[in-house]
Amino acid sequence: MEKPGKQLSLPEWESLIEDFQSGGPTQTKWLTLYPSPSLLELALNTILRKEFPIKSQLIFFVEEFSSVMIEPLDAEPALGSVVQALRALVQSPIDGVSVTYALKEQMMVSMTSVVIVADGLRRAPHHLESLVALLLTVINRPNHGPDRQSRAVACECLRELERAYPCLLVEILGHLWTLCQSERTHASQNYILLLTTIVNNLVSATTSNARAKPGVPASSSPSILSTSIPLVPFNRPNFLVNSSSAPEFENGVRSFAGRELSSVNMKELRRVVAFLLEQPQLLTACGLLEFMSMLMGVAVVLGLQVSLLKVQFSGLIYSYDPILCHIILMLYSKFSDAFDGEEGKIADRLALISKEVSAQLVFRLLSVHWLLGLEVFCLKKDKKQTIVTMASQFYPHVFDPLALKALKLDLLVHCIIRLDHSLAALLPSANKRSEDPVMEKRGSQSDLDCGVRTTKLFEDGLHCVSAFKWLPPNSTETLVAFRMLHKFSISAIPHEVPDSSVTVIFTESASFCMLR
């Protein structure tokens, strides 16, 4: 191997990268030869060379393993080199060969990652500021043609910095809002997400007692959309200046949060959020997931009308994209009261997804789990459960994979148990009949109907794996069939319910008698 400081050849870099990825003692050997931060310096120098065949691989290597290449004490000079290397590349003119947009973009992402992982704000705040300023210069050209993708990537870098250091960019919110409004290329998604992240961090940082105090005069709390502070050069906000340790950083954010937002500020925030809510149709499904994850928190803090969100987004449940369906489930879990009465519609749709033969198996399995998850959620929130009325929708189809049949049988088991329980609830007690002969007759009739229904559900469910009767005992059909019987037995009387009346209800139920 080479002595420290000497350039590594291509095969040496390849073997070094492999050793690092594999982990273990070989990694340590390299680090002994190239102590912090010499390996990083060497890698950066190689990346900046005019020609090197595995540049992109090397950049990823630096990103993935910077934490072991930089000792905390060396962070300041190391991050200085990182930002300097990035600036050199970003400011080089595109020649299409050694300097391309793709290379610049990759370098922006990886070097931002290195700065965050080395905790740039605490260990090298000035280099962090230089990095932010460089990225801001990139994004400050809305609608410019050729570099739109680079602007999108730079927005992501800034967003990641804002995510790592909440409220880092809060003082330039006004500038970013203007840029976001101006951008009309496909990169607008990234401007929107950046703006949403800052707004989310801002509202999350403000304490509840500091919010919306109508009495606070506008002058005491300057506009949050002000553009009086220039975009570049970038200076981290004052409340982060003395954050040389993590607790101090948190205190800094808290002291900022303690600042009272005036009614004017709240109005400004509502304006920004109203703008953001007009944008979702521009976002990809993944972008929308990010957006909604943040916006839901903002909606709560700003007291937005959730019914509006419901109207705007509930159509997503009809999409075949599982991410969009999951967004609705997230909305429902967060704002279940606003969706009161809609549970049936959501459950219906999930049941239909589980039937879609053209959907990937795993998403059909997930839809069954979501249904069960929603049922548990409703139970917890004391809301009306819907699954039990939909039992016939969960009948497995003959061509359903056995994995799906097993899960649909879980749903049927759940329905059977709920029906058995509701039947028991109809009666005064599990083993005491009414003394009124009319009531007794009525009770017996519904008892009979319900019993017949649960027995039928049980038999119908088991039908799809009835081959267990004659297939070898180790067949998958046998496993699935006995799993259903097992689930029925253990779900009817959970371990944590030692109540003997439950046992009586179970052992007297029609389905148990049938099973016996």
Partner 1 sequence: MPGCSIRALWILNNQDNVVFSRRFPVVERRWHLACQKEYGALYKEDKRFGISFLLPGDAEIASAFSTRKQSEGSVRGYGIRVASSALGSDSWVDDPITRHVISLHIEKEEEEMSTLLWPLILHTKGPYRILILPLVEPAHLEAYKEMLQRPDCGNSVGMEEGISSLLLDLPCITGAFLVGHVLGDIIVGDAQEPEVFVAASPTVGGLLDSLTGSIGISGIAARSKPVAAPVAATTGTGSGAAGVVVSDAPRNSSRLLDKELLRTFISSSMPFGTPLDLNVSNILAVKANGFQSSDLPPTDLKQPAWKPYLYRGKQRIMFSILETVYAAMYDRDEIPDTVLISGQVNCRAELEGLPDVSFPLAGLSTAHIEVLSFHPCAQVPEHGVDKQALMFSPPLGNFLLMRYQAYCSLGPPVKGFYQLSMVSEDEGAFLFKLRLMEGYKAPLAMEFCTITMPFPRRKIVFFDGNPSLGTVATTEHAVEWKIIPSGRGVPGKSVEATFPGTIRFSPRATMKSHGSLSFGKGSMVDDESDTESENLNNVVNIEDFLMEKMNKDLPPVDMEEPFCWDAYNYAKVAFKIVGGTLSGMSIDPKLVSIYPAVRAPVDFSAQVASGEYILWNTLGRCPSAASSKV
Looking up tokens 């506009």 gives: 223
Q: Is residue 94 packed enough to be buried (19+ CB in 10 Å), middle (13-18) or exposed (0-12)?
A: middle
| CB of 273 or CB of 294, closer to partner 1 | 294
CB of 357 to partner 1, least distance (A): 5
CB of 20 to partner 1, least distance (A): 8
By CB under 8 A, name the one of 3, 51, 382, 470 that touches partner 1. Answer: 470
| CB of 3 or CB of 495, closer to partner 1 | 495
CA count, 13 A, side-chain hemisphere, 86: 31
| CB of 191 or CB of 256, closer to partner 1 | 191
**Is 405 a residue that touches partner 1 (CB under 8 A)?**
yes
| CB of 216 or CB of 282, closer to partner 1 | 282
Residue 456: phi, psi to the nearest 5?
A: -65, -45
Q: How far apart are CA 55 and CA 50, in angstroms?
A: 10
CB of 130 to partner 1, least distance (A): 19
Q: How far apart are CA 155 and CA 138, in angstroms?
A: 9
**Is 426 a residue that touches partner 1 (CB under 8 A)?**
no
- x/- string (CB under 8 A) for partner 1, residues 352-381? xx-xxxxxxxxx-xx--xxxxxxxxx-xx-
* β strands within 18-91, DSSP E: none
**Is 321 a residue that touches partner 1 (CB under 8 A)?**
yes
Residues of this chain, 245-264, that bind partner 1 according to CB under 8 A: none
Of 82, 90, 88, the C-alpha closest to 118 is 82
Of 485, 472, 350, the C-alpha closest to 413 is 485
CB of 235 to partner 1, least distance (A): 23
**Is 293 a residue that touches partner 1 (CB under 8 A)?**
yes
CB of 150 to partner 1, least distance (A): 9
**Is 275 a residue that touches partner 1 (CB under 8 A)?**
no
- x/- string (CB under 8 A) for partner 1, residues 330-349? x--xx----------x----
By CB under 8 A, name the one of 33, 38, 60, 270 that touches partner 1. Answer: 60
**Is 398 a residue that touches partner 1 (CB under 8 A)?**
yes
**Pair 265, 221: CB distance under 8 Å:** yes
**Is 414 a residue that touches partner 1 (CB under 8 A)?**
yes
CB of 261 to partner 1, least distance (A): 22
As a whole number of Å, the CA-based R_g of the chain is 31
Per-position b or e across 47-83, b if 16+ CB within 10 A of its CB: bbeeebeebeebbbbbbbbbeebbeeebbbbbbebbb
Q: Is residue 178 packed enough to be buried (19+ CB in 10 Å), middle (13-18) or exposed (0-12)?
A: middle
Residues of this chain, 183-242, that bind partner 1 according to CB under 8 A: 183-190, 193
By CB under 8 A, name the one of 204, 223, 251, 475 that touches partner 1. Answer: 475
| CB of 85 or CB of 296, closer to partner 1 | 296
Which range of residues in 82-90, 129-137, 151-159, 216-224 is near partner 1 by CB under 8 A?
A: 151-159
- x/- string (CB under 8 A) for partner 1, residues 97-116? ----xx--xx--x--xxx-x
| CB of 21 or CB of 45, closer to partner 1 | 21
**Is 441 a residue that touches partner 1 (CB under 8 A)?**
no
CB of 401 to partner 1, least distance (A): 5
Q: What is the 3-state secondary structure (H, E, C) of 416-458?
A: HHHHHHHHHHHCCECCECCCCHHHHHHHHHHHHHHHHHHHHHH
Task: Give the interface size with partner 1 as a residue count (CB under 8 A).
Answer: 144
> Both tokens of residue 244?
């040389």
**Is 128 a residue that touches partner 1 (CB under 8 A)?**
no
Of 316, 355, 351, 320, the C-alpha closest to 332 is 316
| CB of 17 or CB of 264, closer to partner 1 | 17
CB of 281 to partner 1, least distance (A): 7
Q: How far apart are CA 75 and CA 124, in angstroms?
A: 7
The verdict on whether omega for the bond into residue 233 sits within 30 degrees of 0, i.e. cis, is yes
